[in-house]
Amino acid sequence: MGILAYLVIGLMTGVLTGFSGASAVVVVVPALTLFLHVPFRTAVGTSLAVDVVTSLIVASSYARQHHVQLRKGGILILGAILGAQTGVVLAHHVPTAWLKFSFGLFMVVMSWNFLSHAWQNIPLVTPPTPGHMRKPPSWRMIAGVGILGFLIGNISGLIGASGGILFLVALLYGLQYSLRTAIGTGTAAMALSALSGAVGYGWHHEIDVSGFVFIGLVAVVAGFFVAQYAQRIQERYQVGGTGLLLLAVGLSMLIR
């Protein structure tokens, strides 16, 4: 029963990450804690470890279609890596209820933006008019994105949310990436952020090794094929699906 549960969790994780760049925390942490009675911090550590391998494979799929741009997103990634270590330390000293509530409320608000754009069939980020180049982000915006990356890293270390959805939002509205480039770059960033956090939890022996192996194996395969499919459909469906995921994640955080 345990192995079967791991495989189902892995399938759901791969589908969600491949389609929207979401973190494994959406599935892994609640499933392990509620159904398999794994301690919360061990579930978080396992979620981060799964995110590493799944995100790398998904990002490689988006990179094949030139939807990964790490150069401008480097400040976001650096902030997230540093923040993940701070989050691991804080996870052993502070309660996380307030952070879960804030995270959930933010996700619900953002879901409305995604769903409204999908309903009206308009891009999340307005493309530049023909003959005009998009203005590069200002230094204030870049610095803000770096600070946001540090906060995302802290969330990663605290509750195992490796920042997939938050990276997506930061890259869309902070650096003006297109949706699919934001997903591809965000999953690459998530792999590095998750690795930083997973090392911290591994140091405290808070990773379910069996869960990581079985969940990660299925998630990698499912994530690769779903990422291939997601890049072929109309963007409004990917925007709408991601909006529904944001809503589900936000409500689950507010209710639990």
109: alpha, beta or left? (left if phi > 0; alpha if psi -120 to 50): alpha
Q: Which pLDDT score is estimated for 128?
A: 52
Q: For the chain, 256 residues long, give each residue's pLDDT as a single digit of tens.
A: 578 999 999 998 998 889 888 777 778 877 888 788 888 788 888 988 998 999 999 999 999 988 888 877 777 778 877 877 787 677 667 666 666 676 677 778 878 878 888 888 877 665 555 445 556 666 677 777 778 778 777 776 666 555 667 787 778 877 778 888 888 988 888 887 778 778 888 988 999 999 999 999 999 999 999 999 888 888 888 888 888 877 887 787 677 6
Count CB neighbours of 8 within 10 A: 15
Whether residue 207 contacts residue 198, with contact meaning beta carbons closer than 8 Å, is answered with yes
How is residue 161 annotated by DSSP?
Answer: -
Alpha-carbon distance 1 to 89, whole Å? 34
- Contact between 253 and 99 under an 8 Å Cβ cutoff? The reply is no
Nearest to 70 by CA among 129, 149, 130: 149
| Contact status, residue 168 vs residue 110, Cβ threshold 8 Å | no
At residue 125, the pLDDT reads 62
Q: What is the pTM of this model?
A: 0.75
Q: What is the pLDDT of residue 253?
A: 67
Q: CA-CA distance, 225 to 61, in Å (whole number)? A: 9
Q: Where are the domains of the chain?
A: 2-255
User: Can you give the pLDDT at residue 179?
Assistant: 82
Q: State the number of CA atoms in the 13 A half-sphere of 175 facing the CB.
A: 29
Q: What pLDDT score does 60 carry?
A: 93
Q: Single out the residue of 87, 38, 85 nearest to residue 207, CA to CA.
A: 38
CA 52 to CA 36: how far, in whole Å? Answer: 22
Rounded Cα gap, residues 84 and 78, in angstroms? 10
What is 44-67 written as a DSSP string? Answer: HHHHHHHHHHHHHHHHHHHHHTT-
State the Cα–Cα distance between residues 102 and 111, nearest whole angstrom.
Answer: 14
Residue listed under structure tokens 């494994």:
24
Q: Report yes or no: 94 and 87 within 8 Å, Cβ to Cβ.
A: no
- Is the distance from CB of 168 to CB of 183 less than 8 angstroms? yes
Q: Please say whether the beta carbons of 13 and 221 come within 8 A.
A: no
